[in-house]
Amino acid sequence: MSQLPRLNYKRTNSRTTVQDLYDTNYEARLPKDKSRPYYSSHPATAENIKSAYPEIQKVNGWAEAIVQTARRLHIADPGWLANLMYFETGFTLNPNVMNKNGCGGLLNFCPNSSAKKVGKTVTELTSMEALEQMQYVELYLSEYKGKYNTSADLYMAVYFPIAQGGGPHFSIYNWYLKHMGEAVASNFLNANNGIKTAGDYQKFADRHARLPTVLGTEKEDTSSVVLY
């Protein structure tokens, strides 16, 4: 599971165009209020991903691999996968990163769950470079192939798989309360910045995304990318 740091942003009514978001210098001009998702009328391309994430651009073929992986898994927007790996690596996109809990890699693989699922140890995964590790990113996410219609669907596949496909109102807290007891549920709440539902996590994670988090087809006005 990711434990994202809490950031504060000032509100703004600025509007951001597609060109602004995909310009190499867009992040410096991005409106400061990122408390809500922002929209794109089309899925991110490899060039869009490189523009938003210089860390990915530095590795030849990585952005293209992200797009290809997303297509094979039927992830609606490859940009969501880039965003996911960004905050699962602690905002580094370093495939070799490992945290104090012994989890690491591009999806923050953990020893007794996700790493075990792909048949590797965390040490083996974090010794791989990005392109090699992408095959295990795909292997892990393949269980939910075709079910990634929103960024929340993708986030939950890693953060709390039981909630995958359950919609934004799925209560992770209530699941812990029912199946693990009040003490465990309270520990979860305290360790995860008060996040209770899948929707809470989506909003929290979307604050850190450098690429659009909602396809414009889900919004009436698809003529521009909007951060509101």
What percent of the chain has a predicted confidence (pLDDT) above 70? 78
Mean pLDDT of the chain: 82
Lowest pLDDT segment from 90-94, 125-129, 215-219, 224-228: 224-228
The predicted model gives 19-42 an average pLDDT of 49
What pLDDT was estimated at residue 33?
52
Walk me through the domains of the chain, giving residue ranges and CATH numbers: 18-167+206-218 (1.10.530)
Residue 50: pLDDT above 60?
yes
Q: Residue 94: exposed, middle, or buried by beta-carbon count in 10 A (0-12, 13-18, 19+)?
A: middle
Q: Reduce the DSSP state of residue 164 to 3 states and report it.
A: coil
H/E run at residue 185: helix 182-191
pLDDT at 104 (0 to 100): 97
